[in-house]
Amino acid sequence: MAERYNFGAGAGGVNVETTVLGADEIILNMGPQHPSTHGVLRVKLRLDGEKVVGSECVIGYLHRGVEKIAEHRSYQQFAPYVDRMDYVAAVSNGLGYCETVEKLLGAEAPPRARVIRTILTELQRIASHLFWLGTHALDIGALTPLFYCLREREEILKIFEKYCGARLTTHAFRIGGLQYEAYDELEKDTERFCKDFDRRVDEYESLLTENRIWVGRTKGIGVLTADAAIAMGVTGPVLRASGVQWDIRKSMPYAAYDQYEFSIPTGKNGDTYDRYLVRLEEMRQSRKICLQAIENIPAGPILGKVGKVLKPPPGEVYHSIEAPKGELGYYIVSDGTTQPYRVRIRPPSLINLEALDQMIRGHLVADVVAVIGTLDIVLGEVDR
């Protein structure tokens, strides 16, 4: 099969093959430069007319060897690198990494740090989902929601900027807690954002949820059954939309999630529409968590007892968090030196993307775009 993907130079080089039925099968090279592959994803589509009969993802265009880099940096030095993986949810990446190293050290962040971490991570989840919603809608042809979504995301980025000075690749946390004390109006800013936000989500919904075209474009598209989803290792909203109510925040709580009330939305049909609804609801739940968290931020130190030089005892640890896109896991092996012996990052985007082929078979080219969008991949994370 693999040899059949044989391209002439340049995107869309004509290469027609004959199928069993005698019809001409077109091979369409989508990406790596394409408006809606969300970066440098390249999908080779085999088309029968406009129907997809097979596909293959070609990834690695953004491969930076993050895991190799980690082996040559000290634990603290590596922390900023993880922000560059899922660059629309850098805070979550940082949280996962810091907690993993803490676990490796046998240390823990103080309560105050955990609560602030939770707030920022949930804000980040909202921001990530907003960005997803905007671009997903854009892929399906709705131009306008993107700007509404970015308007709200901007508010969140402003909070990040006030907190740590950076908007995108924040490097917000430190191993053992936080680097920065929360600024004075963090609660107020968060509250102001949250107060408005519910109404804003309703606004997006009014544009899309019951729109005939939107429903027509998303319902029944890219269906992933619960079994298939688990078999493909899919996690996060994609898995939940298939009806599996599993969220690491609940099942193996980290940071301060065990202190807050929230629910895990699930879908039923595992199609693109359900994934859309699940993510919208997740934003609402994240807002709820934020509101609960700012009510009571414990006082105390923000940095736990970790040394200046981190030398975790030999051993290994796997720790994962519920990143906006799914289970973000870090598997770190220590050999007792200041540099990790091996860092493995389990990127949710990569593994969710693997299900793409299965989801688009039999659909049309237009649906490929919708499904890529609904998987919410970030190529920085896929390729690392």
Partner 1 sequence: MPYVLPVLFALVIVALLPLVAGYIVLVERKVMADMQVRLGPMRVGPHGLLQPIADAVKLLLKEDIIPESADRLVFWGAPLISVTTAMVALAALPIGPFFQIAELNIGLLFILGVSSLGIFGIVLGGWASNSHYSLLGALRSAAQLVSYETSAGMAIVGALLLAGTLSTRGIVQAQAQTEVWFIFAAPVGFFIYLVASIAETNRAPFDMPEAESELVAGYMTEYSGFRWALYFLAEYTNMIVVASIATTLFLGGWLRPFASTSYLDFLDWLPPLLMAGVAGYCFWRAPKQPVAVQKMFMAAVGLLCIVLALVLIMPMAAPRDSFLASSKAGIHGAFWFLFKVGAYIYVFMWLRFTFPRYRFDQLMRLGWQFLVPLSIVNVMGIGVGLALHRQLNWPAAPALILGIVLTLVAGAYLLATGEKHEHPRVGEEEEEETPVNA
Partner 2 sequence: MTNDSEEKQPPRPAEAEKPAGTPAPSASPSASGGTPSGETPGKPAAPSAPVAAAKPPAAITPPKPAAPAAPAKPPGPPPPPKEAPPKPAPLDNDLVKRYKARFGGAVVEALLDRKQAILVIAADRLLEIARYSRDEEHFDLLVDLTAVDWPKREKRFDLVLNLYSFSKNERVRLKALVAENEPVPSVESVWPTANWLEREVYDMFGIVFEGHSNLKRLLLPEEWQGHPLRKDYDILQQDEAWVRENLGIESGQ
Site residues for partner 2, window 297-316 (CB under 8 A)?
Answer: 298, 304, 313-316
How many other C-beta atoms are found inside a 10 Å radius of the C-beta of residue 195?
11
**29 contact, one of partner 1, partner 2, none, CB 5-8 Å limit per kind:** partner 1
H helices of the chain, in order, are: 66-70, 75-83, 90-105, 111-139, 145-164, 186-208, 212-218, 226-231, 237-241, 248-251, 272-295, 348-354, 356-360, 365-375, 379-383
- What does 36 bind: partner 1, partner 2, none (CB cut-off 5 to 8 Å by kind)? partner 1
CB of 228 to partner 2, least distance (A): 8
Q: Which does 148 bind (CB under 5 to 8 A by kind): partner 2, partner 1, none?
A: partner 1
Binding map of partner 2 across residues 318-347, x = CB under 8 A, - = no contact: xxx------x-x-x-x-------xx-x-x-
Residue with tokens 């970790």: 306
Where in 348-367 is the site for partner 2 (CB under 8 A)? 350-351, 354
The pattern of x and - marking residues 4 through 43 that bind partner 1 according to CB under 8 A reads -------xx-x-----------xxxx----xxx-------
Q: Which is nearer to partner 2, 167 or 250 (CB)?
A: 250
Nearest to 170 by CA among 84, 75, 286, 267: 84
Work out whether 201 is an interface residue with partner 2 (CB under 8 A). no
Sign of CA dihedral 292, 294, 299, 305: positive
Instruction: Answer yes or no: are the C-beta atoms of 271 and 223 closer than 8 Å.
Output: yes
Tokens read off for 319: 């720790």
* Candidates 85-93, 96-104, 106-114, 214-222; binding stretch for partner 1 (CB under 8 A): 214-222
State both tokens at 237. Answer: 């909203």
Q: In whole angstroms, what is the distance from residue 308 CA to residue 176 CA? A: 11
Residues 20-59 that bind partner 2 (CB under 8 A): 59
Q: How, if at all, do strands 315-323 and 326-334 pair?
A: antiparallel
The CB density around residue 295, as the number of other CB atoms within 10 Å, is 10
Size of the site for partner 2 (CB under 8 A): 76
| Residues composing the chain | 384
Q: Give the integer Cα–Cα distance in Å for 290 and 293.
A: 5
Binding residue (CB under 8 A) for partner 1 from 165, 216, 314, 315: 216
End-to-end CA distance of the chain: 27
Contacts (CB under 8 A) with partner 1, residues 75-114: none
Task: Map the footprint of partner 2 across residues 66-85, applying CB under 8 A.
Answer: 67-68, 71
Nearer to partner 1 by Cβ, of 29 and 118: the residue is: 29
Question: Of the two residues 124 and 242, which places its CB atom closer to partner 2 in the complex?
Answer: 242
Q: Is 220 in the site for partner 2 (CB under 8 A)?
A: no
Of 162, 167, 219, 311, the residue at the interface with partner 1 (CB under 8 A) is 219
Q: How far is the CB of 165 from partner 2 (least distance, A)?
A: 28
Rounded alpha-carbon distances, angstroms, from residue 278 to 26, 262, 283, 363: 35, 14, 9, 22
Q: For residues 229-248, which are near partner 2 according to CB under 8 A? A: 229-235, 242-248
What residue ranges bind partner 1 (CB under 8 A)?
11-12, 14, 26-29, 34-36, 50, 137-144, 146-148, 151, 207-208, 211, 213-217, 219-220, 245, 263-269, 274, 277-278, 281, 364-369
